[in-house]
Chains A and B, each alone.
Chain A
Amino acid sequence: MTNIRRFLLTGFLVAGLTSIVAAKDISILNVSYDPTREFYVDFNEAFSKHWKEKTGDTVSVKQSHGGSGKQGRAIIDGLEADVATLALAYDVDALHEKGGLIPADWQKRLPNNSSPYTSTVVFLVRKGNPKGIKDWADLARDGVSVITANPKTSGGARWNYLAAYGWALRQPGGSDATARQYLAKLFKNVPVRDTGARGSTLTFAQRGIGDVLIAWENEAILAVKEFGEGKFELVSPSVSILAEPPVTVVDKVAKRRGTEVVAKGYLDYLYSDEGQEIAAKNHFRPRSTAVLAKHASDFTKLQLFTIGEVFGGWTKAQKEHFADGGSYDEINKP
């Protein structure tokens, strides 16, 4: 009996020590774009807790935020991102095409084209909506000052641009020519073009510049909360774009750092009920129908089109609108 007790005691001690020795401290870096800052603060905390319970490992997730295009280039230039959660698929495609950091079929590795949450583009106006802004057409009126970031550097601004463009195409007699005329007038009303979406939010809400901010839905709601309820009003246009920000493991970096498993677990957790709930609480539209139904009152119902439907996907949209000589350059010609 004594021997059995000693055996069991030794076994427990060995098992305990093994678990202590085996548990690891892991650090990963999530390189993201501007409007996800607050969301990932909450999500990272929940994920660390989840991963600790699941594996015993302690995970510390570091965040980096900026304009989506700029963040993508930083990864290609050597920023050691284990995961990239950028604003648009084009910026993630560049990680494959220019950096060779991820496989070409990265978008097929996770559900919903690797886009675990969505958002849309709305307007934020000052209290009382003094300029009477209701839809996209109002942004091109004389005397209206519009705030949006520079589409050349900001993924969020590209969504804004395409949302406006898509609306113009849907107008009676709408064509590329009329859409570009509309966009030219709209951008003449933009006095300041920040490099990232967060910068343009600050320009509008903190610096008090402009009559209307074109922003992601979650960013607009956050601005209202952050800079004081009652100072701003949210306006949903008649039609807008379905923004589908994608996520991916940066394979080469994760492999080199030995963080592949935790990086994949991190992204998988975005699709979990907990992850979807955190996304909804941070005003991103969850993919989970159950979670979306639970938060239905938080999101205005409006007509949404996808980039694939109107622009043939990001690669085509990038080439036609944001590459050198694209429509954005054209509308800015003096």
Chain B
Amino acid sequence: MKPNTTWNKLTHFAPGRALLVAMLASAPLFPAQAESIDELKQLIQQLDQKVRILERKAEIEKEGTDEKAKTTPRITVGNSGLGVSSADTNFVFQLHGLVQVDNRNFFNDGPIQGNDTFLLRRARPIFSGTLYHDFDFLFVPDFGGGARGSSAVAIQDAYLNYRYEPWVQLRVGKFKTPVGLELLQSDAATYLNERGLPSSLVPNRDVGIQLWGDIAGGVVSYAAGIFNGVGDAQNTSNADFDDSREFAGRVFAQPFKNSSNISLKGIGFGLGGSWGSTSVTNTAGLPSGNGFSTDGQQQFFSYNTTGAGVVGDGNHWRLSPQGYYYRGPLGLMAEYVVSDQRVSRNVAPITAANLQNTAWQVTASWVLTGEDATFTGVTPRKPFDLHGSGWGAVQAVARYGELDIDNGAFPLFANPATSASEAKSWSIGLNWYLNRNLTIKGSYARTTFDGGGGAGATAPAAVTRQPEELFSTRFQLAF
């Protein structure tokens, strides 16, 4: 056995083979071979050292990599937007966005001008994040035109949230008041372009402070807050218009959320409500636009604010039982709202009344391509790709709703010749989710009215003169 040959063989040995060589080396041998065996042992020791050194170096390198990872900020870019976080995730900054470009076409709408339009409905950069692990924030400006088109930039959400535990959180700032179910659904996740009639009777965004939380992973969610108070469907102007506050709260249960029973786990039901009082003689406490609107965002009812000086003047409470059911591609949502508000007029005959307006709706949806329907939207299994086999997800939607104005509103507080006392609306739609970020929606809505329809070229008279027939589409980018 020549030393060079042995060396060449050893250097090509895998580490595990060293054991075999060691066993061979320790076997009894003739004296003539002893010198070679000593060399062999020495080579084995050298090889063993090399292996140990390599292993240790790998360990040290891994320790260094792990240590570096502990302090290296992370940047993520994906379908959830841009995210930057500290290595310990105590500090997080995220950039999301929402752009909705709509087209509205009204049929057989007589003299109404300017309502067939392309509309930049929403254009929102969304900034969110976390500071010191427990403090979250959200800031959402909107450069879009809003429901009726506007060039004003508005701040939709701006709040801080302290997250002590998921079940005890405190939020302060401007955000959605916890009353209506569909109104609390994300603007990017609504199944039809515009929310249904019940959302006309609940407060929209307001400034206030809210204690809230998700108990047992969301089996029970609660929210209770004090707000400035806004009229039905109103967004706050970022300051109160009177000296009183409004209390709002909501409890929502999904008792089978953590169950393995797929037929039950998608059940959710709850109750939202608010109570407040308006005490100044202006119209800020009245509904948005001083009245109520259709799916096409056209006003079918208006308080007589100019002729009779109608204002919100006294207690205003709302109650909204609500629920949904999701199972696989099926989605059902139902909501009822009663909004009871005391209004007064300052033109003879000067009087006041408690008006109780009600609305309800049922929405049903079915994802034709089989994906799960959820309250937060639909995620296609196979994103649309002309070069591949994916076509995204397609969902069919239908909705029926009604809004009934208290008969006591007529004729002192609203003009029965121009305003409808009731609106009934049904809609059907088809949504194409190309991927998690891009959606195209098309829907047809027909709304009929009781009352109104008198003389006049503007809303609400011109709107209530005939049923509203609307075909609308939406191109949506959300990330």
| Residues in A lying within 8 Å of B, measured CB to CB | 145, 191-195, 199, 203, 207-209
Contacts and interface: CB of A to CB of B under 8 A. Distances in A.
A192 B63 contact: no
B53 interface: yes
B57 interface: yes
Given A145-B49, A192-B60, 11 more contacts: A191-B49, A191-B53, A191-B57, A192-B53, A192-B56, A192-B57, A194-B60, A195-B60, A195-B63, A203-B56, A207-B56
A150 to B, nearest CB: 9
Contacts of B53: 191-192, 209
Contacts of A209: 49, 52-53, 56
A35 to B, nearest CB: 18
Contacts of B60: 192-195, 199
Interface string B46-57: 000100110111
A97 to B, nearest CB: 21
A209 B53 CA distance: 7
Interface in B60-77: 60, 63-64
A207 B64 CA distance: 18
B64 A195 contact: yes
Interface of B: 49, 52-53, 55-57, 60, 63-64
A209 B50 CA distance: 9
A153 to B, nearest CB: 9
Nearest to B63: A195
A192 B52 CA distance: 10
- Chain A interface mostly helix, strand, loop or mixed? loop
Contacts of A208: 52
Nearest to A211: B49
A207 B55 CA distance: 9
A254 to B, nearest CB: 22
A77 to B, nearest CB: 8
A192 B63 CA distance: 13
B9 to A, nearest CB: 22
Contacts of B56: 192, 203, 207, 209
B85 to A, nearest CB: 17
Nearest to B57: A192
A203 B54 CA distance: 12
A199 B64 CA distance: 12
23 contacts: A145-B49, A191-B49, A191-B53, A191-B57, A192-B53, A192-B56, A192-B57, A192-B60, A193-B60, A194-B60, A195-B60, A195-B63, A195-B64, A199-B60, A203-B56, A207-B52, A207-B55, A207-B56, A208-B52, A209-B49, A209-B52, A209-B53, A209-B56
9 closest Cβ pairs, A-B complex? A191-B53, A209-B52, A192-B56, A203-B56, A207-B56, A207-B52, A192-B53, A209-B53, A192-B57
A192 B56 CA distance: 7
Nearest to B50: A191
A203 B49 CA distance: 11
A144 to B, nearest CB: 12
A55 B363 CA distance: 71
B113 to A, nearest CB: 64
Contacts of A207: 52, 55-56
A193 B52 CA distance: 13
Contacts of A191: 49, 53, 57
B341 to A, nearest CB: 53
B45 to A, nearest CB: 10
B133 to A, nearest CB: 14
Nearest to B71: A77
Contacts of A203: 56
B56 to A, nearest CB: 5
Contacts of B64: 195
A209 B46 CA distance: 11
B28 to A, nearest CB: 25
A193 B56 CA distance: 10
Contacts of A193: 60
Contacts of A194: 60
Nearest to A199: B60
A203 B55 CA distance: 10
A284 B38 CA distance: 42
Nearest to A145: B49
